[in-house]
Amino acid sequence: MTLLPSVGRELSNPPSDGISNLRFSNSSDHLLVSSWDKSVRLYDANADSMRGEFKHGGGAVLDCCFHDESSGFSACADHKVRRIDFNAGKEDILGMHDEPVRCVEYSYAAGQVITGSWDRTIKCWDPRAASGPERSQIGTYKQPERVNSLSLVGNHLVVATAGRHVNIYDLRNMAQPEQRRESSLKYQTRCVRCYPNGTGYALSSVEGRVSMEFFDLSEAAQAKKYAFKCHRKSEDGRDIVYPVNAIAFHPIYGTFATGGCDGFVNVWDGNNKKRLYQYSKYPTSIAALSFSRDGGLLAIASSYTFEEGDKPHEPDAIFVRNVNEIEVKPKPKVYPNPPA
Amino acid sequence: MAKDPILQVETTCGSLLYELQVIIWDEVGETETDRDKMLLELERECLEVYRRKVDQANRCRAQLRQAIADAEAELAAICSAMGERPVHNTRQSDQSLGSLKQELGTILPELEEMQKRKTERRNQFLFVLEEIENITNDIKGQGELVLPKPPIDETDLSLRKLEELHCHLQALEKEKSDRVETIRKHLCTLYSHCSVLGMDFNEVVSQVNPTLTDPEGPRSLSDHTIDTLDAAVQKLREVKIQRMQKLQDLATTMLELWNLMDTPIEEQQEYQHITCNIAASEHEITQANSLSQDFIKYVEAEVVRLGEVKASKMKELVMKKRSELEEICRKTHMLPVSDSAMDQTIVAIESGIVDATLVLEHLEQHISKVKEEALSRKEILEKVEKWLSACDEESWLEEYNRDDNRYNAGRGAHLTLKRAEKARNLVNKLPVMVEALASKTIVWEQEKGIEFLYDGIRLLSMLEEYNLLRQEREEEHRRQRDHKKLQGQLIAEQEALYGSKPSPSKPLGGKKAPRMSTGGAATSRRLSLGAGMHQTPKPNKKADQRQAEGALSTGRRGLDVAGLPSRKQSMDPCEQLQSPLTRKPFSPISTTVVASKANIATPQQLVPSSKSNAVNEISSFATPVKNNNIIKNLEEEKIMMMMQTPKNVAAMIPIPSTPATISVPMQTAPTPLNNNNNARFLPEKAEVIEYSFEERRLAFMLQSESPIHV
């Protein structure tokens, strides 16, 4: 299938198996990509060049994140949390979980690496400590279920696990979750992402829905929360519902993009409850999304996410598209439908 | 011896006579005649003396009487002058009072008294008269005629007269104060005028009368002064009005220039105090120097400056006016003045051949003309707008009718339905509208004697064209209906062949943006047979399918009845299958989906029952294939076949690949998941573990890797 130019530039040298996550750097347009092909790759999104490929021979890499411009972390299916030095091309093991590590985040506020695993724990690590799990590990915190998604904003850490549990921690006091919640959505949580303004988080489920939540427990704040349907297809009066795999917030406008197994990327204005834009369809499921630091670029991982088990699928691909302001800028509320 | 002088005199006289007669004369012996003569002489001399004395006394008495009479007369005169009762009446009744001298003695002090009073009274008169004199002089004007002395009427010094004089004095005093007030007022007015006009007040006043400038000294109060003052005030007022009008003219010009050149507000601010007086009347302008010569010169200078700026900006102005003209033309869909003509005028202005002001005026005239015309076009234009928007609605409706998903439920669907209903009404009215518009336009053209142009095209020809187009479209619709009938026959044939009808397909027009599927209609609801927002695929029973199909075709027929032509070019199955997607339909994963190895048995168990019971299970195909049971796979595939929609059947013949849309009906099978769940899986629920895609993928990965490692 030939791709229309409207989907953005496709990066060459994509991973050879499913893309588990991709993230833009905080200080450049470098893009870190983790994959089921047991590698982490570093691209220059502007130059369309692969700056490095880091394979450790362990397991599939389920998540990755930047530490700084020259290093990053990976969460691996072989239970290990690794630190990657991009320049030296060297990897060392930061620590281990008892089960595959599902997700990893680096907190600039706390200077800690936080990982979530299917061993029903989250762990905090000090990346500066001498290597060796005994030294670098700061704490282990039990979770009610297998951790599926993590998100950080300021000192807030939101942990979404199987069984629709959501735990909210304050990084300064990890002993107990600040709040224990149940997902507002009825189905399995796919992704959780905090608002850039630090007031709450968006949570997506396998059933074409996203809920918008707020940390503040006051009635006024909670009255603002809502959920909406998305990534569905109406066919002859029947709805087909797709999982929402990815959420990415625009760093400047606070609007956000969602990606689903329908291969669509939608941009939403959460405050005005409007869809701002829908990009043309991608070849297969959207596995991950990331806005660059200034929101000028959007990286899209079009990669089959195994929602229907093993089956032939379109090749995994990374697209980088320039974001028009009109696609992401909030629009003030207007008449919902043109007057008929 | 003689005690009494008269006796003594008599004695002396007798003795002397004796001595004379007896002694002397006897001795002398005078003759008797002598003696007699002598005696006669003596006697005559004596008489003479007596007579003299008597005369003297008589005269004295007369004088006395005269004095009394005089005094009385004077007294009377004084009394009469002073308006008092004469006094001498009392005196006359009292005549026995005594001798003349006594009388005189009583009358004299009276007279003196009266004279004193008279003098006093006179002084009073003098004082009042002098006052009157002063005031009169003040009023009449100094140095004009100064009367030497106030004439006093000595004969009338009565109190009544005095009273009269006092009244007169008061009247004069009042007049004086009135005049002072008048002058003060005039001076005030004069002062304010002078200050507004920027003139020297003292100079102006001293021209009128020098005494007015002296704040201490007496001021001239004469009629002349007042008149001159009045005249001066009038003159200044005229000057003021004149200047004010001039200034207002200047301000108006200034405003026009500002307006013309879009002068920034900051620059205007400086002259705000002038322009704010543009509509003020004479008495409202009181600010000092606001009408002085210098000030007017200053404003004049600014206007001249603006005028120069304007001259230099004339080209821009012409452009601006022109764009204004074009804007009006655009709004009213008239043809603007051709560009080349305009460019030529601009070239002409630049080269100085044409005076830009003339061009501007010409443009202004043109604009007003165009505005006038626009007004006459307004009514028709409104109708044209209505017609055009109706045409838009018509084309929208056309497109909408082509959308087979238009009755699908979705957000805002009811609004779209409403819109369609309105649009249909509108479209029905269109021919009438066009006819009315055409007749109106013809009337207009006849009235004006020119063609009604809409953006340069004759409106009548536009309407004609539209009518032609409409006829063509109707023709097209008719053709399509025929085509559809044919299609129906084709479908019937296929049904005969494969036992089922293809479900209606989406037109693959391509150009149309994906529309929010509309819906909410009862028929389409029925099609989904109560499926909730979360639908799971199920192996459809044929009976179900037919039922659905029946409902669907009812819906379709319903549409046709509504007379909505829809394009059916895409009915050809080959065209439908252009979709390149090979992806299998995705079914949402629910918490109850059993995907683990442990539960592999479940779908197998369910499959047979599903055939009879319409109970479905996603995992029948969504579960990663972990068992190597080929038979099961085959079975599944068989089920899949059965599950496929009739369209698929049709599609299977020409092209093997399955479009994504085709398997949709499977997923929207009627059984709500929850019921299903409660009924069948409750006992198992506690043991069910919900796995994420990644966990399943990893499990699959490890499994597929393990043989290699082993």
A126, A111 contact by CB (below 8 A) = yes
Q: Taking residues B352-379, what's their average pLDDT?
A: 78
pTM metric for this prediction: 0.41
**Span B440-476, pLDDT tens digits:** 888 888 888 888 888 777 888 888 888 888 888 888 8
Show Cβ contacts of residue A237 under 8 Å, excluding neighbours closer than 6 positions: B405, B407, B408, B409, B517, B519, B524, B525, B527, B528, B668
Measured CA to CA, the distance from residue A181 to residue A213 in angstroms comes to 11
Mutate to test the interface with B, among A240, A245, A286, A314 (most CBs of B within 10 A): A240
Closest CB from B533, B693, B697 relative to A241: B533
- Partners of residue A336 in chain B, C-beta under 8 Å: 412
Does position B641 have pLDDT exceeding 60, yes or no? no
Quote the ipTM score: 0.91
Show Cβ contacts of residue B653 under 8 Å, excluding neighbours closer than 6 positions: none
Q: Is A304 exposed, middle or buried (0-12, 13-18, 19+ CB in 10 A)?
A: buried
Please tell me which of A211-215, B590-594, B620-624, B682-686 the model is most confident about, judged by mean pLDDT: A211-215
Query: Are B624 and A337 an interchain contact pair (Cβ–Cβ within 8 Å)?
Result: no
Query: Are A235 and B693 an interchain contact pair (Cβ–Cβ within 8 Å)?
Result: no
Bin B606: left if φ > 0, else alpha if -120 < ψ < 50, else beta.
Answer: alpha
Measured CA to CA, the distance from residue B707 to residue B710 in angstroms comes to 5
Look at the block and give the residue holding tokens 């809920």.
Answer: A211
**Span B113-143, pLDDT tens digits:** 888 988 888 888 888 888 888 888 777 765 5
Measured CA to CA, the distance from residue A138 to residue B646 in angstroms comes to 61
H or E stretch at B602: helix B601-613
Secondary structure, 3-state, chain A: CCCCHHHCEECCCCCCCCEEEEEECCCCCEEEEEECCCEEEEEECCCCEEEEEEECCCCCEEEEEEEECCEEEEEECCCEEEEEECCCCEEEEEEECCCCEEEEEEECCCCEEEEEECCCEEEEECCCCCCCHHHHEEEEEECCCCEEEEEEECCEEEEEEHHHEEEEEECCECCCCCEEEECCCCCCEEEEEECCCCCEEEEEECCCEEEEEECCCCHHHHCCCEEEECCEEEECCEEEECCEEEEEECCCCCCEEEEECCCCEEEEECCCCEEEEECCCCCCCEEEEEECCCCCEEEEEECCCCCCCCCCCCCCEEEEEECCHHHHCCCCCCCCCCCC
Q: Token pair for residue B493?
A: 């044939």
- pLDDT the model gives residue B392: 86
B510, A220 contact by CB (below 8 A) = no
Q: Measure CA B496 to chain center.
A: 81
Nearest to A15 by CA among A36, A1, A43: A36
- pLDDT the model gives residue B665: 33
Closest CB from A102, A236, A337 relative to B405: A236
- Partners of residue A118 in chain B, C-beta under 8 Å: 695
- Partners of residue B584 in chain A, C-beta under 8 Å: 308, 311
Show Cβ contacts of residue A29 under 8 Å, excluding neighbours closer than 6 positions: A44, A45, A46, A292, A293, A297
Measured between CA atoms, how close is A142 to chain B, in angstroms?
19
Q: Measure CA B298 to chain center.
A: 30
**Angle, CA of B402, B405 and B407, to the nearest 5°:** 105
Closest CB from B580, B622, B698 relative to A308: B622
Please report the sign of the dihedral spanned by the C-alpha atoms of residue B576, residue B577, residue B578, residue B582.
Answer: positive
Q: Is B63 exposed, middle or buried (0-12, 13-18, 19+ CB in 10 A)?
A: exposed
- pLDDT the model gives residue A24: 96
Closest CB from A239, A284, A307 relative to B693: A307
Closest CB from B409, B588, B691 relative to A237: B409
Q: Taking residues B542-555, what's their average pLDDT?
A: 42
Does position B568 have pLDDT exceeding 50, yes or no? no
**Span A141-176, pLDDT tens digits:** 999 999 999 999 999 999 999 999 999 999 999 999
Residue of B nearest to A60 (CA): B698
Residue B347 vs residue B683, higher pLDDT: B347
Query: Are B405 and A77 an interchain contact pair (Cβ–Cβ within 8 Å)?
Result: no
Task: Please report, rounded to a whole number, the percentage of residues in chain B having pLDDT higher than 90.
Answer: 5
B399, B500 contact by CB (below 8 A) = no
Query: Are A235 and B668 an interchain contact pair (Cβ–Cβ within 8 Å)?
Result: yes
Q: What is the DSSP string of B632-688?
A: HHHHHHHHHHHHS-HHHHHHHTT--S--GGGGHHHHT-S--HHHHHHHHHGGGGGG-
Q: Token pair for residue A216?
A: 């503040």
**Span B191-216, pLDDT tens digits:** 888 888 888 888 877 777 777 766 66
Measured between CA atoms, how close is A172 to chain B, in angstroms?
30
Helix, strand, coil tally for chain B in percent (to 5): 75, 0, 25
- Partners of residue B623 in chain A, C-beta under 8 Å: 309
H or E stretch at B453: strand B453-454
Neighbours of A331 (CB within 10 A): 11
- pLDDT the model gives residue B130: 86
Residue B652 vs residue A183, higher pLDDT: A183
Mutate to test the interface with B, among A234, A262, A281, A311 (most CBs of B within 10 A): A234
Q: How does residue A133 score in pLDDT terms, banded at 50, 70 and 90?
A: low
Tell me the CB-side half-sphere exposure of residue A319, using CA atoms within 13 A: 27
Note the CATH number of domain A7-322: 2.130.10.10
Measured CA to CA, the distance from residue B8 to residue B12 in angstroms comes to 6
Task: Determine phi and psi for A291, rounding to 5 degrees.
Answer: -90, 145
Tell me, what DSSP letter sits at residue B412? T
Measured CA to CA, the distance from residue A91 to residue A83 in angstroms comes to 6
Query: Are A148 and B527 an interchain contact pair (Cβ–Cβ within 8 Å)?
Result: no
Tell me, what DSSP letter sits at residue B93? T
- pLDDT the model gives residue B45: 92
Write down the domain spans for chain A.
Answer: 7-322
Q: Token pair for residue B507?
A: 């037109």
Tell me, what DSSP letter sits at residue B271? T
Measured CA to CA, the distance from residue B617 to residue B602 in angstroms comes to 9
Please report the sign of the dihedral spanned by the C-alpha atoms of residue A77, residue A83, residue A86, residue A90.
Answer: negative
Q: Taking residues A285-300, what's their average pLDDT?
A: 95
Residue B662 vs residue A91, higher pLDDT: A91
Measured CA to CA, the distance from residue B578 to residue B535 in angstroms comes to 27
Closest CB from B407, B535, B623 relative to A239: B535
- Partners of residue A21 in chain B, C-beta under 8 Å: none
Distance from the first to the final alpha carbon of chain B = 219
- pLDDT the model gives residue B503: 46
Neighbours of B214 (CB within 10 A): 10
- What are the residues facing A158 on neighbouring strands? A151, A168
Query: Are B588 and A207 an interchain contact pair (Cβ–Cβ within 8 Å)?
Result: yes
**Span B649-658, pLDDT tens digits:** 333 333 333 3
Show Cβ contacts of residue B504 under 8 Å, excluding neighbours closer than 6 positions: A236, B404, B552, B556
Q: In the predicted model, what is the mean pLDDT of chain B?
A: 69
Does position B79 have pLDDT exceeding 50, yes or no? yes
H or E stretch at B11: helix B5-18
Closest CB from A1, A62, A162 relative to B690: A162
Q: Token pair for residue B80?
A: 């009469």
Task: Please report, rounded to a whole number, the percentage of residues in chain B having pLDDT higher than 70.
Answer: 63
Query: Are A237 and B528 an interchain contact pair (Cβ–Cβ within 8 Å)?
Result: yes
Query: Are B624 and A309 an interchain contact pair (Cβ–Cβ within 8 Å)?
Result: yes
Tell me, what DSSP letter sits at residue B336? P
**Span A110-119, pLDDT tens digits:** 999 999 999 9
Task: Please report, rounded to a whole number, the percentage of residues in chain A having pLDDT higher than 90.
Answer: 78
**Span B382-432, pLDDT tens digits:** 888 888 888 888 888 888 877 767 776 667 777 888 888 888 888 888 888
Residue contacts between A and B (CB atoms, under 8 Å): 149
Measured CA to CA, the distance from residue A217 to residue A183 in angstroms comes to 15
